Amino acid sequence: MSVEVERKFVCSADTLKTLEEIGAVCIGQHEFHDQYFDTPMFDLTLRDMWLRKRKGCWELKCPTTTVSGTEELSGEQSQAAALCTRYKEITNLPEIHLRVEAVIKDNCEHGEIESAFSQEDEPWLSKLNLVCFAEFTTERQSFTLQEQGVQIDLDKADFGYHVGEIEVLIPEGEDVQCAVEKIRKTAQQLGLTGDQRVEGKMNVYLRQNHPEHYAKLLSAHVL
Ligand code: V4E
């Protein structure tokens, strides 16, 4: 299982030129449609668990419990770490079922289940009362700084939001701080100056389309 360490950034008119200047290689451009699922009570997203279907494959992103090392971090390092998110990425469907079921069954036992929707082609969704709460299409241009093991994605979502991501994938249990450092160096090369986290596509989508769900996640400090 891998852990995705990622920093989002605001793209500018110069981003493409800068990527070229720092030696990033374009590895392709593609479009994908994401569908995100949760129960009507938001059992998954309130736990910062993100279940989605992309290009016919299921993926679950969960908070990671990976420790980032015991060494003292400098101010610069801890600021860099605060700008990054880290999530476990699970793509094995039986494992996704188990993890989702563990959360939802727990809540069912506490009497929170609501009426199930019919999802004919995916019976497990109906069984667990999972419904699609967000769907959008993204056009993505991807670059790599191969030697550093860093990927940079420039995303354009169909609801009008543009965002960049600097991403490092590491095996679960490996040093997160090393990935954060690679991301910090790449951000520096790209001339990124902001010290605030940049919103992901989902933040913007939920604020625009599902303000109640958005407010709940904000109150739970998930977004
Ligand atoms: C983890 C998460 C969500 C799932 C979607 O994650 P994201 O990386 O934004 O999407 P995308 O399309 O870039 O996925 P990739 O192709 O990289 O796998 S939706 C919300 N979260 C939590 C979250 C957060 N709290 N803060 C930020 C800045 N991003 C995501």
Long-range contacts of range 174-178, CB-CB < 8 Å, 24 or more positions apart? 174/3, 174/66, 175/68, 175/69, 176/3, 176/5, 176/64, 176/66, 176/67, 176/68, 176/69, 176/81, 176/86, 177/68, 177/69, 177/71, 177/73, 177/77, 177/81
- Return the residue whose CA atom lies nearest to atom 16 of ligand 1: 153
Distance from residue 128's CA to the centre of ligand 1 (Å): 23
pLDDT at 115: 45
Least confidently predicted of 10-14, 149-153, 215-219: 10-14
Residue to substitute in 35, 52, 61 for testing ligand 1 pocket (most ligand atoms within 8 angstroms of CB): 61
Both tokens of 67, joined, read 């420790």
Number of domains present in the structure of the chain:
1
Question: What residues make up the domain containing 29?
Answer: 2-219
Average pLDDT of span 146-166: 95
Give residue 114's pLDDT band: very low, low, confident or very high (50, 70, 90). very low
pLDDT band at 113 (very low <50, low <70, confident <90, very high): very low
Average pLDDT over residues 75-103: 92
Q: Considering only CA atoms, which residue is closest to atom 20 of ligand 1?
A: 202
Task: Tell how far the Cα of 202 is from the centroid of ligand 1, in angstroms.
Answer: 7
Specify the residue with its C-alpha closest to ligand 1, atom 7: 200
Ligand 1 atom with the smallest distance to the CA of 198 is 28
Q: Residue range 76-102: average pLDDT? A: 92
Q: For ligand 1, say whether the CB of 202 is within 6 Å of any of its atoms.
A: yes
CB of residue 63 inside a 6 A radius of ligand 1: no
61 lines ligand 1 (CB under 6 A): yes
CA 61 to ligand 1 centroid distance, Å: 8
CATH of the domain at 36: 2.40.320.10
